[in-house]
Amino acid sequence: MAENLGRFADAARAREDALANRLAASVAADKEFLTMLQQVVRTNASSRQRLNAIEAEIRESAATWPGLDTPAGSRQFQRFLTAKTREIRQVVSAASDDDERRAHLAQALTNHYRLGGGEGGDPHIRLVDNTILADGQQPHDPTINGVGSPPMPEKQDGSPYDLGATIPGTGIVITGDPETGHPRLRIPGQPDMDNPFPVDDGFRALPTGTAVGPEGQHYAFYSVRPYGPGTSPDNYIAAESRVQDLADPASDLGPLLGTPLGADTKVGISQASGVYDPASATMVIVGNAGQDGQRALWQSAPVAAGDPPHAWMNSLHEVGTFTNLGPGDRENQIVSLPQGGYLMTSASDGGQIVGVAAGSPQGLLQAPAQELTGPGFIPSPGNQPAVPYGPSIVNVETLPNGQEQVTMRVSTWPTPQDWPVGPDSPPPPYHPRTYTTTFTVSP
């Protein structure tokens, strides 16, 4: 009799546990549905806003384009329309990819009452810490908690430089152009040196970002552009990033090339940074499609033991484009966070630096952007614009309260105090400076 009562009690507890699990799954699914609907509304509104802006730009240009009745003016306008058509395709393609992903998640969520692997359960979804996850999703999206702290000017040895790229926690510094002299490379434990990355005479190598590879390689990515008299000071974006392994800094591993969505031929990936994703065993690159393309996420084929070094560079393909970063036409850095998830900082020419965080690299494509700097973030002598660019993550430290404190280096080019200001003043001199700011991330 006692044995029967024990079996009945065990069965009752099992049914109670199953009911509790289903209830938790139902509550989690309801929350996921609400979050998904909110994200759909934001994404669709953003896409419509971008398409409306493109339409307005085309209408205004058609009405004011100079020399439209001449062959040269007509050809220039045709090239303008071709570029705008490409932008429209990118916006529509990104929205389509997002709709397909959310449709899969919505279909998976319809089975939320049958979670737990029982008969009829969906094998493509699972419950982790009361969160419904579809295939490929990662739990616990981190959250950036707000704008960065007031900037602190960095003390630089020698001639001031910009673009102080690094790999978090390493103390490595890869500089861009100094006020005088040559770009420098600082690796702890080695003598400081002029950066030995090879470029032809009359060219310069500007760091766009860094990455840690599958086997701990330290990579730096460069935009190699003409430099010297007669070249534009804004001439800093190449059609593709070149790759350097800091273990052999005098070698150029070649350009970053990737296959865009819906294309068969590769394009250059410019303004690149990267990270290794152990969940998929792939290298993930954030960079723009060519010199003027939209910022996108690129992924390699899985990296297997025994693959040739740097073989991941040959299999990059586009995963999706960012519609949450603004133009995203300057530098960026993507890094993995110590407690899980990924953080990316992104700069736009003439704009402020923003950050996004997510549980997976792909999640960054839809993550809400948080402004990390703001107007007046860096005071400029002479009241001239000093917009930050070149965001680089110096360090990520876990605080006693469990949050992660991120130290970010930014660059700027402020006008000297004694430089004349007025409509007839000459262009300001090159006067680079770097600053650091901190912000926190909740895992």
- 347-363: pLDDT as tens digits: 998 889 999 999 999 99
CA atoms within 13 A on the CB side of 130: 7
* Domain finish residue from 110, 134, 158: 134
* Distance (Å) of CA 404 to CA 147, 178, 183, 222, 254: 14, 32, 31, 29, 35
What is the rounded distance in angstroms from the CA atom of residue 295 to the CA atom of residue 288? 4
Q: Is 84 exposed, middle or buried (0-12, 13-18, 19+ CB in 10 A)?
A: middle
Residues 250, 376 within the same domain: yes
Q: Which residues contact 439 (CB under 8 A, 6 or more apart)?
A: 144, 145, 146, 147, 148, 149, 355, 372, 405, 406, 408
Residues 80, 193 within the same domain: no
What is the rounded distance in angstroms from the CA atom of residue 317 to the CA atom of residue 264? 10
- 140-192: pLDDT as tens digits: 789 999 999 998 989 887 888 989 999 999 999 999 988 888 899 999 989 99
| Mean pLDDT value across residues 361-374 | 94
Residues 242, 124 within the same domain: no
Count of domains forming the chain: 2
At 177 the pLDDT is 87
Residues 147, 130 within the same domain: no
Local confidence band at 370 (pLDDT 50, 70, 90 cut-offs): very high
pLDDT surpassing 50 at residue 409: yes
Residues 110, 15 within the same domain: yes
Residues 62, 204 within the same domain: no
CA torsion through residues 10, 16, 18, 24, sign: negative
- 5-17: pLDDT as tens digits: 555 555 556 556 6
Residues 153, 13 within the same domain: no
Query: What secondary structure letter does DSSP report for 215?
Result: T
Give percent above pLDDT 90 in the chain: 47
- Count other Cβ atoms within 10 Å, centred on residue 15: 10
What is the rounded distance in angstroms from the CA atom of residue 257 to the CA atom of residue 315? 9
* Domain finish residue from 134, 155, 184: 134
Local confidence band at 127 (pLDDT 50, 70, 90 cut-offs): very low
Q: What's the token pair of residue 169?
A: 């926690």
- Count other Cβ atoms within 10 Å, centred on residue 152: 12
* Distance (Å) of CA 231 to CA 204, 228, 302, 429: 12, 6, 41, 15
pLDDT surpassing 80 at residue 133: no
- Side by side, the strands of the sheet bearing 184-186 are 173-174, 184-186, 193-194
- 250-272: pLDDT as tens digits: 999 999 999 999 888 999 999 99
CA torsion through residues 375, 380, 385, 391, sign: negative
| Mean pLDDT value across residues 9-32 | 60
CA atoms within 13 A on the CB side of 404: 22
pLDDT surpassing 70 at residue 128: no
Residues 129, 148 within the same domain: no
Which domain CATH number covers 425?
2.115.10
Residues 120, 168 within the same domain: no
At 101 the pLDDT is 56
Give percent above pLDDT 70 in the chain: 75
Q: Which domain holds residue 18?
A: 2-134
Residue with tokens 């329309």: 81
Q: Are residues 268 and 284 in contact, defined by beta-carbon separation less than 8 angstroms?
A: no
Residues 14, 114 within the same domain: yes
At 116 the pLDDT is 40
Report the SS3 class of residue 388.
coil
Nearest of 227, 257, 226 to residue 241 by alpha carbon: 257
* Domain finish residue from 86, 103, 134: 134
Nearest of 210, 158, 166 to residue 182 by alpha carbon: 158
* 398 strand-pairing partners: 404
CA atoms within 13 A on the CB side of 78: 7
Q: What is the mean pLDDT of the chain?
A: 82
Nearest of 363, 328, 283, 290 to residue 39 by alpha carbon: 363
pLDDT surpassing 80 at residue 136: no
What is the rounded distance in angstroms from the CA atom of residue 34 to the CA atom of residue 149? 33
Residues 92, 184 within the same domain: no
- Count other Cβ atoms within 10 Å, centred on residue 276: 22
Most confident option among 14-18, 175-179, 412-416, 424-428: 175-179
- 207-263: pLDDT as tens digits: 999 999 999 999 999 999 998 766 666 678 999 999 999 999 999 999 999 999 988
- 297-349: pLDDT as tens digits: 999 999 988 899 999 999 999 999 999 999 999 999 999 999 999 999 999 98
Local confidence band at 402 (pLDDT 50, 70, 90 cut-offs): very high
